[in-house]
Every structure is written in structure tokens, then in C-alpha cells.
Amino acid sequence: MEITRRNFKDCLSTVYSAIDEADFLAIDGEFSGISDGPNVSALTNGLDTPEERYTKLKKHSMDFLMFQFGLCTFKYDQTKSKYITKTFNFYIFPKPFNRTSPDIKFICQSSSIDFLASQGFDFNKVFCHGIPYLNQDEEACLREQTEERRNQHANGLGTPSFISPSSKTPANVPDEQKDFINKVVEKVELLFSADEKTLNLEPCTGFQRKLIYQMLSWKFPKGLHVETLETDKKERYIQISKVDDKERKKREQQKLEREQEELNDAVGFSRVIHAISKSGKLVVGHNMLLDVMHTIHQFYCSLPEDLQDFKEVTMCVFPRLLDTKLMASTQPFKELINNTSLAELEKQVKESPFKPPQVEAAEGFPSYDTAQEQLHEAGYDAYITGLCFISMANHLGSFLTPPKAYISAKSKLIEPFVNKLFLMRIIDIPYLNITGPDLQPKRDHVLYVTFPKEWKTSDLYQLFSAFGNIQVSWIDDTSAFVSLSQTDQVQIAMNTSRYAESYRIQTYAEYIQGKQQKEKLGQTTKSWGEDGWMKPHFSSSTTSAGFVYPRRKRSISPVQGDLGTEAAPVPDPWNNYSFPDDTVSKKIKFDELSGQANVDAVESKTSEGWLKITESSNSPDLSHVTDEKSPEGTDPDKCVDGTGTWHQTPTAPTRKGQKNKKKKTEATESTTSLFDVPEVW
């Protein structure tokens, strides 16, 4: 269902009830651009920390506009054994509410605009009929203004700050306005003796209107209703009506109601986000970090400086999030899915071992044909994101004994994937953990290299040719991180580079230290907070495991013990990267023998097609896992409202009645694990 400014108010109750009745929601946004840096690659570095990435996205992406918001609600119908969907496609535009409301500026990126144009995006719908919105500060400010105006009105005409005791007399009409004002007074006097009830004055300046209000309030304290209206040409004029006290009160009541309605209109699309937020329901998105950031930024508040604060705000707005891209690139899915882009994922989850999701559009809602792709329409993208979630969630049910065909959005089985947002193109941190501390990979195999700006990736490959496979993560024109495959080579590289003149090598630890010192010297207020980097607790208790979970608030059975020790971080990272196209050629691998080979530094400009991580490591095997009773479940033999209460076989030891208990099955953990999402197996 397409929703613009024209039908928004009429559709709002439909939207509300769809959210209310849904089991889960899927969302997607379309933006006027991705990155305002010189190119999208500059925005990301494969070894960004979550803090750095958040700061970059906040700085370089929030000036774009989310101008289309897709919402698809999914409600499970027990009798039909399928989901009933309602898809909404909202067009959004920050039309200034009135002349004092903020005049939003946003950036458009021509490649993004051109891409959307090629997909048939209707910009006129956005710019001509987009639904306005306000964030919470703007809304509060506007409500305050309205309240103030109302109080002023209750105390008499005009604005108190304009009215001094003396202004109640006509003395302060400037000489050159006296003629004008006198003529108005004459007209009003005629109105009293005339049949007409209403007099429209000619449009005039704000100053003149002020004088008119003052004069009429002084000269005719009763019997008149005076109001400023606008012509079609946006010229403001005064309308004067004869009224008795009852009529006057009625009119004022009407005006009050009108103001209230205008205010709600101005809050506009934000009301939908408020409803989603208040519902507390699972909100599914695909690669949704930017969607979440934009949603908060546009409809709630400016994004906080600090990542931790952002996480807290996010939890207030979206208490339960699930990112299908993160889910698809995590065990047990990552071995089944070799391309986690939304379009490809949607195709793959229709095929074995997945089961095609059973869905049906609700009456009155258009049904999408996934064979005819309508990608990059936010509503459609939200819809297929939901489909991907359903298939993947249900697939988890096949690991149960006996298998379950339907896994609800409230099932404990999906808990490991909740509130973890996919981090694009970070080599060793797959997700942003919204409800806890982020993963802190050891980066002691990483070197920080500075060099002349003429250097290309090939020069770095040549420089490190003795060290076997390396991985280059560009920082800027004259520096890059180089990851060696063996940590013990770091010292050799440092030693050999000691007398180099054209380049300089530091360990990652030295680099971070230097950066921190620079920040201290630069008096920047940014502090590397408790969740930050390179703190003393960094290496505490965790030997050489690939990851440590510092300040692990929620972890009951930490998985560090399962991590391999020898092969860390990755035996041969190169075999684990796919290069979907040459837009990432800067990071391409070369045979060590051909040091001269070089690659064009073509930069990626689209959000899809970015480097996709398909880790070689294994996560705990899911086979033989049984789902715990969901909190709502009461009778194991009955399926109640889709909350996931199932038959359980005696072969798998389960303890009924014990809630929120974590357990681990006999998974095969012979190799390193790049990351471990599960906390509840």
C-alpha cells in the first residue's frame, strides 16, 4: 500500500492495527545517498573498531535523507499455517510545517539517485507528496509554541512579548501607518452596521497585522473574532467576523482543535515509528544498521556522540531487532548461503534445505510476486526481508527433535541473532552488539604501514612478499593496515623495516597507542570508553583465543574455551573471501610471484556487492538442539498463538519449566571460530 501525504491520515489507523496484530515487523529504508566521503570505501576500513565505524557512519551518512520507508507486518494465521502480510510503502519528505519550522537540508548522491531512478523510483511522489515528520525535540518545541500562542490568545489578542501596557492604546501606531489603520477601523465600523458577518482585509505586512490586532483589541474588545488566514498565493490577510460570546468561544474551540490536528500532521510519519517502537515487537531488517541510524536520526533525536549511548537509544526505539544479513552469515546458515545480498538470499531461502515461506497478502493489500523483482522499493524489500527471516527461522526448527516446521518470532531459537546488527566489511567483527559489549578481536598480526602516496596495493604485496598471504586494508592514500597470516612474523617484519626510508611499520598496538596519545594532545573529548580498545583488560584471562568478550554482562557459558589456539586468527583468509565484482579489486589478492601486478583502485559505489565475509570457522553444530519452552508456552502438545511450544523427544535432555536457561550441545568445535553469536544453545 502506497502512503503519501495525501492518504496518510486516512491510512494511519490501518497502519496502527497492522502493527498491533503482527507477530513481527520487517522494515527497510531508501536513502538519497550512502556516503558523503570521496567514495564509499573511504567510509569503511576492514579493521575499523565498532566505535570508529559508528562515528564514520554518523559523520558521513546522516546528512542523506531516508525518503522511503517500507514496513511489512507479518501475522501468523494458525488455521492457514501461513503468515498474513500487510505491506506499506511510505514516501517521506521534511516539508516545512510553517514559516518558523526547521528548513531541513539533505544531501543527494548522484550515484544513489541515478540507481534509484534506474529502478523506477518516483521522486515526484517523495518531493511533492512525501509525508512530513518531526523528531521529538522539534515536536516538543512545536507543542510548546502552540501552547504559548494559545495562552496568549486566552489573555487577549496579540502576542504578549509584543504588547506593553502602553500598546493597549493606539498611541504607538507609527505616523505612516495611521492612515492605513484608520481605514481598517472605518471598515470594521461599517461591518457592525452591515448585513455581512465577515470582512476580509487585503493582504498586508506582519507589522500591519500586528497593529490591526492591537487596534481592534483596544477599540472593539468584544463582538469580534479576528484571525490571520492565508491566500492561495501564501499571502497573509486578516479576516474579521462579528460574533457573540458563544460564537466566539465556539470558534476558539474550533481553532484549538485545528491547531491540534495541524500539530499531529506535522509530527506526521514519526507517529508510525512511535507505534512500531511502542509495540516492542521484533523488527527485522536486512543489513539494517543504516536504517536504524537514519530512523532514530530523523524521527527521534540527533544521534549521540558515543556508541554506547547510541546502543541505549536504539534499545529504547527498537527493543528487539534482527538483522537477516547477520543471521544469514552466521551458523548454521553461512554454509548454506554463499551470497547474503537481499535479492540472492531471498532466492536461496526458497530452495532446499529451506522451505519456501508460506505467506499471503491480507485482503486489500497488494501481493508481491517475488519472481518479478521489485527490488529497492522499500515496501518490497521489507516484505522479502520478512520472507528471508521466516525461512531461516523455520529452518532452525529442523534441528529440533522432532523437527518443527514453524518457529515463531518469539522463539528462543532466534534469540542468538537478536539485537546484533551486521557490520559491513569489517574483517573480524561481524556485528554491532546492541545489548552488550562488542567483540574485541586480537589484532596482533596486524601492522600499520605508512608510505608515499604513489604506492598501490601491489607495492604492499611486494613489500611483504616474503610473508606469504597478507591482507591490505586501506586507511587513506598514505597508510594501510597489513594483516599477516602468522602473528610470529610481526616481529620479523618490524625488524627488517627498521632502516627503511620510504615507508614505516608499526604494530597495531603501537598505532592505537599513538592515536590515543594524539587524541590526548589534541584535547579531543572523545575518550576510549570502558567498552573501548586496548584497555588493560584486553588480554586478561583469554590466552590466545581469537576473541575476548570484555565486561560480559550476559554471558553465562562463555565460549572462549571452544576457540582454537593454534590457527588464530585465520589460516588462509584469502580463500574465505569472495569477490563478487571488481569494485573491490583494491583488496584483491595476487600471486606472490608476480609482484609487479597492479590493480586499478576502482571504488565500490553501491551498498550491495561489498566484500562479503564467509568465515571458514565453524560454530557449534545445531543438530540435536532442542528448543526450550518459550515463556508463553504452557502445553507442549498444543500450538498456542505461534509462540513456539512443541513436542519434545526424550532423546534430547530438556528441562521443562526452567526458563532462560542456557545450554550447549555436543557441537564439533575442532577449529577456530571467527565469532560465536549463540549464547543460548
Among 52, 60, 58, residue whose Cα is nearest residue 511:
52
Query: Interface residues for a second copy in 432-491 (CB under 8 A)?
Result: none
Over 474-518, what HEC string results? EEECCEEEEEECCCCHHHHHHHHCCCCCCCEEEEHHHHHHHHHHH
Q: Please give the Cα distance from 455 to 474 (Å, whole number).
A: 11
DSSP state for residue 578 in the 8-state scheme: E
Minimum separation from the CB atom of position 327 to a second copy (A): 26
- b/e burial code for range 8-33 (CB count within 10 A of at least 16 → b): beebbebbeebbeebbbbbbbbbbbb
Q: Is residue 175 part of the contact set for a second copy (CB under 8 A)?
A: yes
Distance CA 471, CA 200 (A): 75
Q: How far is the CB of 159 from a second copy (least distance, A)?
A: 8
Among 164, 372, 523, 525, binds a second copy (CB under 8 A): 164
Query: CB-based contacts of 322: which residues, under 8 Å, 6+ apart?
Result: 282, 283, 284, 285, 389, 414, 417, 418, 419
Q: Is 180 in the site for a second copy (CB under 8 A)?
A: no
Contact region with a second copy (CB under 8 A), list: 200-208, 266-274, 547-555, 655-663: 200-208
User: Which grid cell sits at 95?
Assistant: 516539508
Q: Which three cell numbers stand for residue 309?
A: 549511548
Among 76, 88, 91, 93, binds a second copy (CB under 8 A): 93
**Per CB under 8 A, which region of 121-129, 276-284, 496-504, 610-618 contacts a second copy?**
121-129
Cβ distance to a second copy smaller for residue 101 or 665: 101
Kindly tell me the sign of the dihedral angle through the C-alpha atoms of 158, 164, 169, 172: negative
> Which residue's entry shows cell 556516503?
35
Residues 515-554 that bind a second copy (CB under 8 A): none
Half-sphere exposure of 84 (CA within 13 A, CB side): 15
Region near a second copy per CB under 8 A, out of 253-261, 304-312, 411-419, 596-604: 596-604
Q: Which member of 59, 236, 624, 664 binds a second copy (CB under 8 A)?
A: 236
Residues in the chain, overall count: 681
Out of 145, 146, 167, 654, name the contact with a second copy by CB under 8 A. 167
Q: How far apart are CA 406 and CA 416, in angstroms?
A: 18
For position 142 contacting a second copy by CB under 8 A, the verdict is no
Cell matching residue 139 = 515536536
Residue (475 or 599) nearer to a second copy, CB? 599
Task: Considering the complex, state which of residue 122 and residue 519 has its C-beta at the smaller distance from a second copy.
Answer: 122
Closer residue to a second copy (CB): 375 or 556? 375
The site string for a second copy over 363-382 (x = CB under 8 A, - otherwise) reads --------------------
Reading the block at residue 306, the C-alpha cell is 558515543
Is the Cβ of residue 133 or residue 508 nearer to a second copy in the bound state?
A: 133
- Distance between CA atoms of 159 and 163, rounded to whole angstroms? 6
- Which of 286, 425, 605, 629 is close enough to bind a second copy by CB under 8 A? 605
Would you state the cell numbers that stand for residue 435, as one nine-digit string? 545489548
| 192/207 with CB nearer a second copy | 207
Q: Which of 219, 590, 624, 671 binds a second copy (CB under 8 A)?
A: 590
H or E stretch covering 16? helix 8-21
Residue 632, C-alpha cell as written in the block: 508463553
Q: Which stretch binds a second copy (CB under 8 A): 374-382, 393-401, 459-467, 582-590?
A: 582-590
Whole-angstrom distance, CA of residue 412 vs CA of residue 424: 26
Are 667 and 621 in contact by the 8 Å Cβ rule? The answer is: yes
Q: Does 220 bind a second copy (CB under 8 A)?
A: no
Spatial distance between the Cα atoms of 40 and 427, rounded to a whole number of angstroms: 17
Query: How far apart, in whole angstroms, are the C-alpha atoms of residue 473 and residue 519?
Result: 22
Q: Does 593 bind a second copy (CB under 8 A)?
A: yes
- Interaction of residue 150 with a second copy, rule CB under 8 A: no
Q: Which of 205, 260, 338, 543 binds a second copy (CB under 8 A)?
A: 205
Among the residue ranges 324-332, 351-359, 388-396, 599-607, the one whose residues contact a second copy (CB under 8 A)? 599-607
272's enclosing H/E stretch is helix 270-279
String of contacts with a second copy for each residue 99-118, x by CB under 8 A: xx--xxxxxxxxx-xx-xx-
CB of 375 to a second copy, least distance (A): 11
Helix (H) / strand (E) containing 241: strand 236-242
How many chain residues are in contact with a second copy, going by CB under 8 A? 69
- The answer to whether the beta carbons of residues 47 and 96 sit under 8 Å apart is no
Nearer to a second copy, 555 or 583 (CB): 583
Scanning 122-130, 291-299, 362-370, 539-547 for contacts with a second copy by CB under 8 A, the matching segment is 122-130
Nearer to a second copy, 127 or 192 (CB): 127
Choice between 232 and 363, CB closer to a second copy: 232
**Cα-based distances in Å from 489 to 441, 447, 483:** 18, 10, 10
Nearer to a second copy, 43 or 418 (CB): 43
Nearer residue to a second copy within complex by CB, 124 or 649: 124
Q: What residue type is 472 in one-letter code?
A: V
CA dist., res. 208 & res. 119, Å (int): 51
Q: Which one of 124-132, 318-326, 360-368, 404-412 is the stretch in contact with a second copy (CB under 8 A)?
A: 124-132
Among 369, 591, 637, 666, binds a second copy (CB under 8 A): 591
Q: Which of 6, 589, 662, 664 binds a second copy (CB under 8 A)?
A: 589
Which one of 488, 501, 600, 635 is in contact with a second copy (CB under 8 A)? 600
Query: Among 205-213, 467-475, 538-546, 621-629, which window interacts with a second copy (CB under 8 A)?
Result: 205-213
Instruction: Tell how far CA 211 is from the center of its chain.
Output: 49
Q: Which of 7, 14, 39, 671 binds a second copy (CB under 8 A)?
A: 39
Stretch that binds a second copy, among 120-128, 354-362, 501-509, 515-523 (CB under 8 A): 120-128
209 is a site residue for a second copy (CB under 8 A)? yes
Give me the least distance between CB of 590 and a second copy, in Å please: 7
Task: Choose between 154 and 593: whose C-beta lies nearer to a second copy.
Answer: 593
* Interacting residue with a second copy among 10, 13, 79, 171 (CB under 8 A): 171
SS3 string of 598-657? CCCCCCCCCCCCCCEECCCCCCCCCCCCCCCCCCCCCCCCCCCCCCCCCCCCCCCCCCCC
Nearer to a second copy, 39 or 374 (CB): 39
Q: What are phi and psi of 251, to 5 degrees?
A: -65, -40
236 C-beta neighbours (distance < 10 Å), count: 14
* Residue 231 binding a second copy, by CB under 8 A: no
SS (H, E, C) 151-198: HHHHCCCCCHHHCCHHHHCHHHCCHHHHHHHHHHHHHHHHHHHCCCCE
Helices (H), 318-434: 324-328, 342-348, 378-397
Q: Cell triple for residue 625?
A: 538442539
Binding site for a second copy (CB under 8 A): 32-33, 36, 39, 65, 93-96, 99-100, 103-111, 113-114, 116-117, 122-124, 126-128, 159, 161-162, 164, 166-167, 171-176, 205-207, 209-210, 235-236, 575, 579-583, 585, 588-591, 593-594, 596-600, 602, 605
